[in-house]
Amino acid sequence: MFAGQPELERYYQRVADKHDLRKDIDFDTRVESMVFDEQTNRWTLQTTRGKLYRAKVVIAATGILSDPLFPTAPGLEKYEGEWYHTALWPHDKSVDFTGKRVAVIGTGATGVQVIPKVAETAAHLTVFQRTPNWAVPLRNRPLSDQDMAQIRAGYPEMFPKLRASFSGFLHSWDPVKSTDVTEAERDARYEQAWNSPGFAKWIGLYNDIAYNAEANRIYCDFLASKIRERVDDPATAEKLIPKDHLFGTKRVPCETNYYETYNRDNVELVSLRDNPIKEFTAKGVLTAEGELEFDMIVLATGFDAFTGALNKIDIRGLDGQTLRDKWKDGPHTYLGIQVAGFPNLFVMGGPHGKGGHGNGPRCSEQVVEWMAELVKEIFERQLDRVEADPEAEREWTEQVVAAAAGTLQATAKSIFFGDNVEGKPRVYVAYLGALPEFVKRLYDIREGGYRGFIIS
Ligand code: NA7
């Protein structure tokens, strides 16, 4: 039901072949800097391969989750064993955990998938947990030919439904509140969701879970009871139950046999709150309780999300202003698509927009369609510049940030506020609105002559 990496890669390869895309792609190329020339209205891009590119328009489709985050403890360079970051996994070699003493740091969406796999063959696995998560069962399974036939037959209804849903998923929040039903009904619904695949257990439930702390807490109690049922050792179960954030205020990880993994003799959970890593050593890590030795360390520590990838590039717009400097206190954008002072630069899947959020491909495609039309116009009408009006940018940024204030999401530390990264200012970087409204806004703006954009 949920495709694994090899199947996804096969799909991308097929799309690249079908549309003959490889001739237009320079692979293994990192953009280091981008400078706007005000005389010619062209961007100059410098890459790690030394090649210079000149472009009238740049679309930075650099992604929300693409700048890997490393542990804050110093000394990783001293560590002499094998180590891997889950976002930089070496696909050209097979990583073997067999018989090894392995550490995994991080228990987010990736950590909860990696941990059960490593535990199967490692001699010993130590999991370092900074924050426990409300992880829920993925319920993945192979699809039969009959399942696929049924899915294909449903395409005519499925695609409009995806475009019309809040975040591009088939699930939608139920307008019924959890307080409007009996306790027995509610429990049965939670049980049914628990046994269903994917985000049915999140965005397919009563909508008050998203905004009412009390309704959310009741659901948390249900989820905590499931963790207690699945983990044999009560002390370990308690460590795995989040105590300081509500369900869905951080991204909800989906897992397979994650909690049962802690019942294995070769698996140990270390809470970094009780026992922080002071530094990496040649043999492993030094914690408050002493040195622990490992043959391999897996960093599942996530990403500097939303702004990390763009901030890695030295981007210089009008008057030599850098994007990093402009965003030092948090991102400023118009629709998450443009930044005032950076003409002809379009962002796809950055902060404060809907492209790339939620069901990534589904949300992106609608924003891409709109953006591609605008880019086409730049060339057809031989425009010099399209850039965000500073006033429109100010209004949009204020609106996005204000919409998140006072919500349940604002009660947790998360990638949505950037405070998973040490030293990053806590500012809302995601976008809380619904996909159909966002897309409608884009088309209204176009009909209004691209309101909020300065076109010359
Ligand atoms: P996530 O979900 O951001 O998880 C990263 C995990 O690593 C999370 O448990 C973090 O704890 C932990 N972390 C981050 N920095 C540290 C340090 N310095 N020390 C210890 N632990 C740390 O990233 P994933 O790769 O798992 O998932 C990314 C996306 O993939 C996810 O959002 C989905 O869209 C799919 P924290 O909770 O911040 O305390």
* pLDDT average, residue stretch 216-232: 98
Both 329 and 216 in one domain: the answer is no
Is 182 inside any structural domain?
A: yes
Q: Is the CB of 131 under 6 A from ligand 1?
A: yes
The pLDDT of residue 224:
98
Q: Is the CB of 110 under 6 A from ligand 1?
A: yes
Is 259 inside any structural domain?
A: no
Both 312 and 222 in one domain: the answer is no
Q: Is the CB of 126 under 6 A from ligand 1?
A: no
Ligand 1 atom closest to the Cα of residue 305 is 3
Residue among 110, 199, 252, 297 to mutate when testing ligand 1 (max atoms within 8 A of CB): 110
% residues pLDDT > 90 (the chain): 96
Both 148 and 236 in one domain: the answer is yes
Both 53 and 144 in one domain: the answer is no
**What's the structural domain count of the chain?**
2
β-strand pairing of 284-287 with 290-293 = antiparallel
Q: Kindly report the backbone phi and psi dihedral angles of residue 318, in degrees, each rounded to the nearest multiple of 5, phi listed first.
A: -65, 145
Distance 112 CA to ligand 1 centre (A): 10
* pLDDT average, residue stretch 197-213: 95
Both 240 and 141 in one domain: the answer is yes
Is 403 inside any structural domain?
A: yes
**Cα torsion angle, 256, 261, 263, 264, sign:** positive
Is 321 inside any structural domain?
A: yes
Q: Is the CB of 130 under 6 A from ligand 1?
A: yes
Confidence check: pLDDT of 315 > 90: yes
Is 108 inside any structural domain?
A: no
Mean pLDDT rounded to a whole number for the chain: 96
Residue type (1 letter), 380 = E
Domain CATH number, residue 436: 3.50.50.60
Is 260 inside any structural domain?
A: no
* pLDDT average, residue stretch 79-105: 95
State which of 252, 282, 316 marks the end of a domain: 252
Q: Which domain holds residue 376?
A: 32-67+306-455
Confidence check: pLDDT of 93 > 90: no
**Residue owning the nearest CA to atom 36 of ligand 1:** 131
State which of 252, 269, 289 marks the end of a domain: 252
The pLDDT of residue 83:
98
- Six-digit token pair at 233? 């050792």
Q: Is the CB of 367 under 6 A from ligand 1?
A: no
Both 451 and 312 in one domain: the answer is yes
The pLDDT of residue 329:
97
State which of 206, 235, 252 marks the end of a domain: 252
The pLDDT of residue 210:
95
Q: Are the C-beta atoms of residues 189 and 158 closer than 8 Å to each other?
A: no
C-alpha pair distances (Å), 268 with each of 118, 226, 240: 12, 20, 12
The pLDDT of residue 355:
85
Q: What is the pLDDT of residues 346-364, one digit of tens each?
A: 999 899 999 888 899 899 9
- Six-digit token pair at 10? 């096969």
Both 329 and 395 in one domain: the answer is yes
Examine the predicted complex and report whether its ipTM is higher than 0.90. Answer: yes
**Residue owning the nearest CA to atom 23 of ligand 1:** 302
Q: Is the CB of 105 under 6 A from ligand 1?
A: yes
* pLDDT average, residue stretch 25-41: 96
Residues 6+ away with beta carbon under 8 Å from 28: 49
Residue among 301, 303, 419, 422 to mutate when testing ligand 1 (max atoms within 8 A of CB): 301
* pLDDT average, residue stretch 22-27: 94
The pLDDT of residue 92:
82
Q: What is the pTM of this model?
A: 0.95
